[in-house]
Amino acid sequence: MNSQSRYVSQAMRSSEMKLQQGFTLIELLVALGVSAVIAVLAYQSIDSMVNVKTTVEQHSKQNENLQRAIWWMEQDFIQIVPRAIQDELGSRQAAFKYREDIGIEFTRIAQFPTPNASGGLLRVGYQLQDGILYRLTWPVLDRAQDTKPKKVELLTDIEGFDIELLTSSNEWVKDWPRANLGLTDLPRASRVTIKHKTLGTITRLFMGID
């Protein structure tokens, strides 16, 4: 074989090797397409895991807030006392008051330290405003015209806050005081129902003074 033939033969083998070692355009496009599909699936999987984690954390936080709110209510409702107060205008107000449109307000024992009292008695209340349940505390029982309550946000996403009160004749009512009751009369029990947007309906019964 002469030198020219050998050169041609070597060139053909070199070309064949390059073809075998490289990728065609179609192969590259297919590989890119497969990589893109894998990337999308991986992103969706990670995004789904992140969303699940976020949802679980939110649900856990909501449950924690709910348990804290119920704890506060229990501490308040089971320590009610028959102590009427004087409002900002100098009028006497019942020891325990509830109207569905304005919320609940009552006097309780505060023998142990609280955010607004170190002993004696404390005036507290609960109000639902724009889907937020607030706990109110007053710095004094008998108020002056400039006395303002402290409002603490307890729960959000609340669709309903209903209270039923048990009278001495074992009748459940939705307002207090009743027409035939005095300013120091108290319910025998309070049934509180909270309707939460995601946690559902929660009902708790708190015993009062028998």
pLDDT tens readout for residues 142-189: 999 899 999 999 999 999 999 999 999 999 999 999 988 899 999 999
pLDDT of residue 33: 79
Q: Which residues contact 108 (CB under 8 A, 6 or more apart)?
A: 76, 77, 79, 80, 81, 121, 122, 123, 124
pLDDT band at 37 (very low <50, low <70, confident <90, very high): confident
The C-alpha atoms of residue 74 and residue 88 are separated, in whole angstroms, by 28
Q: What is the pTM of this model?
A: 0.69
The C-alpha atoms of residue 11 and residue 120 are separated, in whole angstroms, by 104
8: pLDDT strictly greater than 50: no
pLDDT of residue 25: 73
Helix, strand, coil: what percent of the chain each, to 5?
Answer: 35, 30, 35
The C-alpha atoms of residue 158 and residue 60 are separated, in whole angstroms, by 16
